[in-house]
Amino acid sequence: MAATIVAAKNTARAGCRALVPETFRERASLAAMAFSGILFLSLETWGLEAFYRLASRILPELPGFRLEIFAANLLPAFFAGLAVLMTFGSLTTAVSLLFLSDEIPFLIPLPVRPGTIFRRQLGLSIAYSSSPALFLLAPLAGLLAIHSEHALLALAAFLASLFSVIILCGLAGALLSLGLVRLIPPDRARLVAGTFSALSLGAALVGARQTRPERLFDPVAAVELLQGLASEPPSTSSRNPLQLLALACARALTGDPGSLYPALGALGFALFLFLAAARGFAGVHLAAFRKSREEGTRRITSVREPRAARTLTRELFDAEVRNLARDAGTPAQIGSLLAVLILNVLNMRLLPVSDAAGKDLVFGLQTGLTLFLVSALCLRFTFPSVSTEGRTALLLRTFPVDPLRALAVRLAVHSGVAVFLAATLTLTSGFLLEVPAPALALSSYFVLLGGLTIPAIQLGMGALYPRFDAPNAIAAALGPGGFVAIGISMLLAIPTTALASREVLSLLESLIRRPLPHLTLSLLWGGGAILAAWTSLRLGLQARRTADLSLP
């Protein structure tokens, strides 16, 4: 217990130190992260608050509308989505924390019971995998407390229900990881789990899309939908635990103190199961951990005949493709992209757009969305590609390879992927919407040029602001360089929504009351994109050639 308290104090102190950075780079990194976080939370809070104000003005006017029934009908779907995401998210995190973490070989030789180690890692897995959901839900919980008549009761019931789902599903995911690692070695199990996780996120998004939320924009359909959800109470004899939790939360909104008992009961049950599993499965974890270490020793890769080296450029190209293909995030990203593609197809089929103006508007938005997706993927893969060289950067600096050639080859690989993705999304949307050929050609111009220049911008910024000591690609991207890179990429992506859509451009023209020269602006956009890419690459190249390189 004393050690746990010391560890908690150390972690808290380390957290406080992180808030008081020493170097300019750390300060800039912290400022960028804080700014992004506060901006995101503010926008979310503002959106939810606006939605609440609108709903509280309109909904009471609907005949037969009852808030608690509305909540009781909506919350099960919310809890189900959270349950699926938590289970698969925790599966991925648990494979890393229970089997691949450097802490485990450090802790096992200490006089600490296996149950304590397992409980610690299990708790961390659940905490880490739930943190994105908690970050997203914090404004919702805050608004619930502010606007509810019985703030504490509503908040307590909601949080108890939320944490019971998080603990139970996180635990299920972590226990699944024990089984998965018995079948597949941990490093591969992490990739498989990441793919499952991405596919589950994709399935959740596709499921949400299938409910056709665009009906809310049609007044008649929206009233029907809301009345249906707010007037037919769910069965109180349901055996679905998520339904029971939803009912408890809904009753808490009306101020029923008895509603707290089922929520607290569920939380207590979840905590009990957590402790029991930590005790009961500790031996299983230790055995699986030892087996995974043995397999790491035993595994023999097939011996291939050494082949003659080809040209330097070809070898560099092959090495880049290997690095990208073996990146831990690649299978998960492929799963996510698949989901995006399905969503895209669903959007095109379900959206009620038949007229030329509607198609033009949707296709314009689609162009901007495609470049946003390219920017996000480049921030995950292209920007950190220099930083993730880690200590190898020291060795690479000594190699007789021109950094220009190395950067050019890396750019070719990353922009090839980006262009393929952008072209696939644009052509799919174009054909499904049956847009005219000139519109398709214009959109292709934007996404192809964006697919080439956005990776160049991110690669250049990644070389200019490398973080060779970052523990992983995501940490490398969460610095000032990543912030600047995504900022410039977004500045390129957003205008394409207007430039690829006559309707959006006309709207802008009417807003500023002056004509916008479409062709000139499109050419200017292209020139700006090329200039930004060239400048970024040049700065990055200069840093690769001359910047001091010192790693602890």
| Cα dihedral across residues 145, 147, 153, 158: positive or negative | negative
CB 552 to other proteins: min, Å = 6
Reading the block at residue 449, the tokens are: 């040029």
Q: Which of 162, 80, 76, 78 is nearest to 126 (CA)?
A: 162
Runs of H (alpha helix) within 148-218 = 151-183, 186-210
Beta carbon nearer to other proteins, 142 or 185 = 185
CB 4 to other proteins: min, Å = 8
CB atoms within 10 A of CB 48: 15
CB 16 to other proteins: min, Å = 11
Which own/partner pairs from 254-258 qualify as long-range (CB within 8 Å, at least 24 positions apart)? 254/68, 255/149, 255/150, 255/153, 257/153
CB 10 to other proteins: min, Å = 4
- Contact at 8 Å (CB) between 344 and 425? yes
- Contact at 8 Å (CB) between 454 and 421? no
Beta carbon nearer to other proteins, 103 or 318 = 103
Beta carbon nearer to other proteins, 10 or 238 = 10
Beta carbon nearer to other proteins, 251 or 467 = 467
Q: How far apart are CA 370 and CA 356, in angstroms?
A: 21
CB 186 to other proteins: min, Å = 15
CB 130 to other proteins: min, Å = 21
Beta carbon nearer to other proteins, 299 or 304 = 299
Q: What's the gap between Cα 47 and its chain centre?
A: 20
CB 328 to other proteins: min, Å = 19
Longest dimension (CA), the chain: 79
Beta carbon nearer to other proteins, 118 or 525 = 118
Beta carbon nearer to other proteins, 298 or 307 = 298
CB 111 to other proteins: min, Å = 4
Residues that bind other proteins (CB under 8 A): 2-3, 5-7, 10-11, 13-14, 17-18, 102-103, 105-106, 108-114, 287, 290, 293-295, 297-298, 469, 471, 552
Rg, Å, the chain Cα set? 26
Q: Which residue has the tokens 């409980």?
A: 119
Beta carbon nearer to other proteins, 112 or 216 = 112
**Amino acid letter for position 183:** L
Beta carbon nearer to other proteins, 105 or 179 = 105
Reading the block at residue 366, the tokens are: 């689609």
Q: What is the DSSP string of 221-289?
A: HHHHHHHHHHHSPPPTT---HHHHHHHHHHHHHTT-GGGHHHHHHHHHHHHHHHHHHHHHTHHHHHHHH
CB 103 to other proteins: min, Å = 7
CB 118 to other proteins: min, Å = 14
Which DSSP symbol is given to 98? I
Beta carbon nearer to other proteins, 116 or 231 = 116
Beta carbon nearer to other proteins, 224 or 294 = 294
- Contact at 8 Å (CB) between 260 and 153? yes
CB 23 to other proteins: min, Å = 10
- Contact at 8 Å (CB) between 314 and 178? no
Q: How far apart are CA 12 and CA 383, in angstroms?
A: 30
126-160 burial: b if 16+ Cβ within 10 Å, else e: bebbbeebeeebebeeebbbeebebeebbbbbbbb
